[in-house]
Amino acid sequence: ELASMGAAEFTAQTYFHSLAWFIDRGEFREQVEMQVRAVEELIGHRPRAAENTEFIYNNDVACFLHSMGFSTVVTEGVDWVLGWRSPNYVYKAWGCDARVLVRNYRLSDDVGFRFGARWWDQWPLTADKYAAWLEATPGDLVFIAVDYETFGEHHWPESGIHEFLRWLPREVAKRPRLRFATVSEAASRHPPRDVYDVPPWATISWADERDLSAWLGNELQRNAFALLSWLYPYAKALGGEVLRLWRELSTSDHLYYQATKMGPAGEVHSYFSPYGSAYKAHDVYTAALYALVLHIRERWSAEAAERVVFNDERCFYGGGVKICSLKDLRAVDAGFKERHRRDLLRWLTDVFLLTPAEAERALSIR
């Protein structure tokens, strides 16, 4: 109904709300395309704007999404990236023509976090007060982004959040300087004022310290993520139910629950987690991953091994040759295979999960 009114835009992101970007770019593309198809089927509109999970962003993310046909990418307005600049303008991605909208986190968090905070010197936040703040904010636009759960879960109905939401459009309509716009409308209505440059080694998000530490900040999280990443080529080769299970386990929440932070950030992690501690979350998650390992081993076959392509340290390196698949192996000359026979056989059994007989066959096939 909202889509038919032209009053809302549905943006694309990873279908499983995952960290697929850091595992495999092809998988990232597939998950975004799954989300696009779901929006098209349910809403009848194809998304023109996109985000990565949890506003995770760098220059490569922006340009990859732009190469997929998205004209606008949305992310966090991070102070150290903006410097002296304001989040209230359209920016351009570094390295491509994608337009970038960055969240005004201060005005967003006034609603998302501080709305019901009685200690806040601006409590209670009323619709007319907030609209006045928006009107007084300099710039071309104000990008407000909050969790959908803000309206009824993070802030219960008794807090007045629904009344705030009910009256805000009326208060905005009273102010000639303000009008609502969808992401794509806002991005196309104003020219980019500068480049939003976030190199891959300084990737940002909208969580905690505006980096990746909400999901990959401690050894529990990094070890769990390493196992998830290690399983991907096998799950992809098997496809079907195994791949679906892997994708369910790729959801970023599983790693978020394993954070061991203290202070306000730690309180937020604890609020969302269904577990009593990060260690319990880690135990449950890794148990699920090891169950998936058994699931993969039970269904593995020489045919599945033919479909595996590695892009990490599991490739075979020797004599200036790099082999990442059985197809690569067949392209190698017989002399190389003979010289490295013992190592190749062990590689085929350890990495491709072949039996000794299957490994011998794979090594002899040209």
In one letter, which amino acid is 299? R
- Check residue 308 and report its DSSP letter: -
Distance CA 359, CA 246 (A): 26
Distance CA 246, CA 243 (A): 5
Helix, strand, coil tally for the chain in percent (to 5): 55, 10, 40
CA dihedral of residues 9, 15, 17, 23 (deg, nearest 10): -130
- Check residue 264 and report its DSSP letter: H
In one letter, which amino acid is 36? V
Distance CA 267, CA 261 (A): 8
H helix intervals, 190-339: 213-216, 219-238, 240-249, 253-256, 263-272, 278-299, 302-306, 326-330, 334-339
| CB burial of residue 98 (10 Å; 0-12, 13-18, 19+) | buried
Q: Which active-site residues does the annotation give?
A: 54
| CB burial of residue 57 (10 Å; 0-12, 13-18, 19+) | buried
53: region left, alpha or beta (phi > 0 left; psi from -120 to 50 alpha): beta
Please give the angle made by the CA atoms of 93, 136 and 10, to the nearest 5 degrees. 45
Q: How many CB atoms lie within 10 A of CB 95?
A: 13
